[in-house]
């Protein structure tokens, strides 16, 4: 059983816990495909969604996941909350705890913010992305999508290309995939590779070919325009030429390889339009996996709360 009050990162999630999360997510997909969107695992529970950064996929899928499990869901946009009046994160957490929330789902620009919140509140905190640190449910939905395609994560070659340095998605994938026995290859301009990532288990590549050759999974990561303005690479065209994935590049991967991207995608930069819309692309399946994984995370954290008698009442 998941032995945690909070899900704030994959760095400390065990293989058994990851396997359980993925297994329960697979069961949730079966429910969703059968049109069962009125489950009762979280009946009587409240989830508050607190996003200090923009989102399309993560925010909506957490909201759908909590609602499909029967929870009452509240959305707080940080810009319209008392955060805008200077309330601290800890005080915001205490306020939400006093309102008897069971789950706080938070995206925050500062790495570590969900860890701080989790230590402050009795509610379970789910990290929906913290700065450049982690995005655990994105890592899980990526792993679920891969496991469904290949039946296992053990021994897969996963090539990740793009802005590794600023990517919380890359880090959660690296931690989760390494624990599950996959090999993670990374390729990016040197300015977009974080120092020490190889010590965490990533295999750094010297060329796009080295990364993609014989890969099972080719994953692009979003390039942020402000990174170019900061001088991390000369131009988007040049980036697309040297680091973007084309249909020709994809031919170097295994014949049954899949293409992934956490979104939002810059069409023609990280991946060409042809690759995004390719029959080997799993980008839309990733979005569907996102709801199932978030349902699984909420259910298993709730099971832990019930088993340990954790309550905010
Ligand atoms: N993948 C991801 O986190 O997308 P959003 O920013 O739209 O949530």
**Residue 160 pLDDT greater than 80, yes or no:** yes
For the beta carbon of residue 38, count every other beta carbon within 10 angstroms: 11
Comparing CA positions, the residue from 231, 185, 192 lying closest to residue 208 is 185
Is 57 an active-site residue?
yes
Q: Hey, is 139 helix, strand or coil?
A: helix
Residues paired with 203 in a beta bridge: 185
User: What's the pLDDT score for residue 87?
Assistant: 87
Residues paired with 103 in a beta bridge: 47, 124
For β-strands 217-220 and 124-130, DSSP reports them as unpaired
Closest atom of ligand 1 to CA, residue 290 = 1
**Residue 83 pLDDT greater than 80, yes or no:** no
CA distance 249 to 238: 16
**pLDDT tens-place string over residues 102-157:** 999 999 999 999 999 999 999 999 999 999 999 999 999 999 999 999 999 999 99
Q: Which of 86-90, 94-98, 166-170, 198-202 has the lowest mean pLDDT?
A: 86-90
Q: How many CA atoms lie within 13 A of 310 on its CB side?
A: 22
Report the percent of the chain where pLDDT is more than 90: 90
Banded model confidence at residue 304, pLDDT cuts 50, 70, 90: very high
Is 85 an active-site residue?
yes
Instruction: Give, rounded to a whole angstrom, the gap between the first and last alpha carbons of the chain.
Output: 24
Phi, psi of 72 (to 5 degrees): -85, 135
Going 7 to 13 to 14 to 18, the CA torsion angle's sign is positive
Q: Which of 34-38, 85-89, 132-136, 183-187 has the lowest mean pLDDT?
A: 85-89
Comparing CA positions, the residue from 160, 161, 167 lying closest to residue 131 is 167
Structure tokens at 274: 């042809």
Q: How far is the CA of 264 from the centre of ligand 1 (A)?
A: 7
Contact between 186 and 170 (Cβ < 8 Å)? yes
Strands (E), 111-151: 124-130
> What is the CA 13 to chain-centroid distance, rounded?
14
Q: How far is the CA of 309 from the centre of ligand 1 (A)?
A: 33
User: What's the pLDDT score for residue 252?
Assistant: 98
**pLDDT tens-place string over residues 257-294:** 999 999 999 999 999 999 999 999 999 999 999 999 99
**pLDDT tens-place string over residues 7-32:** 999 999 999 999 999 999 999 999 99
Say yes or no: CB of residue 220 within 6 Å of ligand 1.
no
Is 203 an active-site residue?
no
Q: How far is the CA of 195 from the centre of ligand 1 (A)?
A: 25
Closest atom of ligand 1 to CA, residue 107 = 8
User: DSSP label at 162?
Assistant: S
**pLDDT tens-place string over residues 42-63:** 999 999 999 999 999 999 999 9
Residue nearest to atom 5 of ligand 1 (CA): 55
Q: What is the mean pLDDT of the chain?
A: 95
Q: Hey, is 218 helix, strand or coil?
A: strand
Comparing CA positions, the residue from 48, 17, 40, 18 lying closest to residue 121 is 48
CA distance 263 to 171: 16
Structure tokens at 181: 């026995």
**Residue 85 pLDDT greater than 90, yes or no:** no
Q: How far is the CA of 61 from the centre of ligand 1 (A)?
A: 10
Is 179 an active-site residue?
no
Say yes or no: CB of residue 167 within 6 Å of ligand 1.
no
Report the percent of the chain where pLDDT is more than 70: 99
User: What's the pLDDT score for residue 224?
Assistant: 79
User: What's the pLDDT score for residue 173?
Assistant: 98
């Amino acid at each position: 059983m998941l032995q945690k009050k909070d899900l704030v990162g994959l760095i400390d999630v065990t293989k058994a816990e990851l396997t359980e999360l993925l297994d329960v997510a697979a069961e949730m997909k079966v429910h969703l495909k059968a049109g069962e969107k009125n489950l009762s695992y979280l009946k009587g529970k409240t989830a508050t969604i607190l996003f200090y950064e923009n989102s399309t996929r993560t925010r909506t899928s957490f909201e759908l996941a909590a609602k499909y499990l029967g929870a009452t869901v509240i959305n707080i946009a940080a810009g319209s909350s008392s955060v805008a009046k200077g309330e601290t994160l800890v005080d915001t957490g205490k306020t939400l705890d006093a309102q008897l929330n069971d789950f706080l789902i938070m995206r925050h620009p500062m790495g570590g913010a969900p860890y701080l919140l989790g230590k402050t509140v009795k509610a379970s905190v789910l990290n929906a992305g913290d700065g450049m640190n982690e995005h655990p449910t994105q890592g899980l939905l990526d792993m679920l999508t891969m496991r469904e395609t290949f039946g296992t994560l053990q021994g897969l070659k996963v090539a990740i290309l793009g802005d590794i340095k600023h990517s919380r998605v890359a880090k959660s994938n690296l931690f989760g995939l390494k624990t599950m026995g996959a090999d993670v290859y990374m390729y990016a301009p040197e300015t977009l590779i974080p120092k020490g990532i190889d010590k965490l288990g990533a295999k750094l590549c010297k060329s796009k070919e080295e990364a993609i050759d014989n890969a099972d999974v080719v994953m692009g990561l979003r390039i942020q325009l402000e990174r170019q303005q900061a001088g991390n690479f000369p131009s988007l065209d040049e980036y697309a030429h040297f680091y973007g994935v084309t249909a020709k590049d994809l031919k170097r991967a295994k014949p049954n390889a899949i293409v992934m991207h956490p979104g939002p995608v810059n069409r023609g930069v990280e991946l060409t339009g042809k690759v995004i819309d390719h029959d080997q692309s799993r980008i839309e399946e990733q979005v569907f996996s996102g709801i199932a994984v978030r349902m699984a995370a909420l259910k298993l954290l709730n099971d832990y709360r019930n088993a340990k008698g954790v309550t905010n009442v």
